Amino acid sequence: MTDRQILTEKKSPERIAFEHYIRTGRRLSPQGEPEVELKFNPYHDPRNGRFTFAPGGPRSLSDVIISDGHRGERRVSRSTAAAAAPEAPAASADSPQAGSLTDAVYRPDKTAPAIQSAQYRPNFRGRRGDNGGPSLNDPLTLDHVFPALRNSPGGSLIALADNIFDLTGPASRATTPVMENHINALIQQIKGVDPSFRLESLGFPKTLKGQGNLLRQLLFDRAAAVYRMKNDVRLLQVEMVRVMQETADSAYVEAQARFDAGRLLPRLSREEAIGNYIDQAVRHELRKNLDLRGIDYSKGQIIRIIGREYDRSLPDPKYKIPDARVDRAAFDVSLTRKTLATPQIRGFFNSDFKPTIVIIVRPSQLGQGHTYAILRPGE
């Protein structure tokens, strides 16, 4: 008999079972009783060996794995899991495993019926950042859209934050419950500002594109509600940039295709024809969003679309026409790069409404630094 065999024989059954668990992740029964087969993860249910989920609700119940005694693992559908759940022993109110599948509830009234833990509570802030999943971008002020805005001197050109309006990327990495929680949060925020708000919807969209469109709609709804009820334009300024950027990007692709197909005829050049097409598309989209929400952008309002902005300090008053204006922010869509040296930009700053910022929106296909803000000189 070897020394190793002697050492093993002297160990208690509990010690042997523990070492076996450390090596293999499987439990031995020191008393010789049939062991309960458990899936090796920290969220098994010790009462019956069934696979459960991490605290906070199921991660995916479309293909549930459960342990079936010594016959190995098997996969069950949502409906099978829902039917099986009531047969499991009920947990007591103070049980530490109260969030397991055996305590789940079935919610058939949702667009996609699912099983949820009875202890599950949606996080209406959504999952954000590296610690909680992908961020669903939701800038609240122009300071978030242009991060260097506060600390830059007058006349500076401040670049747009990277991917600040990217909803498709984060949404494609998010799960449907995360998107649904984020959308529910927006609805609650809007109702908190305007209790009369009602969302005209046929249900939660099933496709990623539909979810993104609903998210965009609610972001503008929230901005409009805050403007109407609180006379606060900050969210609306952000949403104007978002709509202009997304429309400029899509219109740029469309205009190029039209020109190459001979359906977009130039008067001066290819760039001029494409630029005019983008201008018209952006203005149309802005008007549509404002009209849908009953926001007045006629002459004399602090919100304008293609309105003349006069400089009456001159003996012969002159005017410039930004594509849009929201309070003291002017917006201009362009293919060319513009600075304070551009007469049009100087004319914006000299106009009677004295904008504190001019935002130049260019298609993102033009590369890094495509969209940027210009601060009023001397501020």
DSSP label at 342?
S
Cβ neighbours for 200, distance < 8 A, ≥ 6 positions apart: none
Q: Can you give the pTM of this predicted structure? A: 0.63
How does DSSP classify residue 51? B
Q: Where are the domains of the chain?
A: 12-117, 131-375
What pLDDT, on a 0 to 100 scale, did the predictor assign at position 65?
A: 38
Q: What's the confidence (pLDDT) of residue 46? A: 59
Rg (CA), the chain: 30
Confidence at residue 202, expressed as pLDDT on a 0 to 100 scale: 72
Tokens of 95: 């049980």
Report the first-to-last Cα separation within the chain, whole angstroms: 89
* pLDDT on residue 216: 92
Do the Cβ atoms of 293 and 220 come closer than 8 Å? Answer: yes
Amino acid present at 82 = A
| Per-residue confidence (pLDDT) for residue 49, from 0 to 100 | 60
Per-residue model confidence (pLDDT) at position 92 = 39
**Are 237 and 149 within 8 A, CB to CB?**
no
Helix-, strand-, coil-residue percentages of the chain, each rounded to 5: 40, 10, 45
Q: Give the pLDDT means over successive 10-residue stretches in the chain (379 positions).
A: 49 76 68 49 58 46 39 44 41 38 38 38 39 60 91 89 75 70 90 92 81 91 96 96 96 96 89 95 97 94 94 91 96 95 95 96 94 89
Given this model, what pLDDT does residue 261 score? Answer: 93
Predicted local distance difference test score (pLDDT) of residue 219: 95
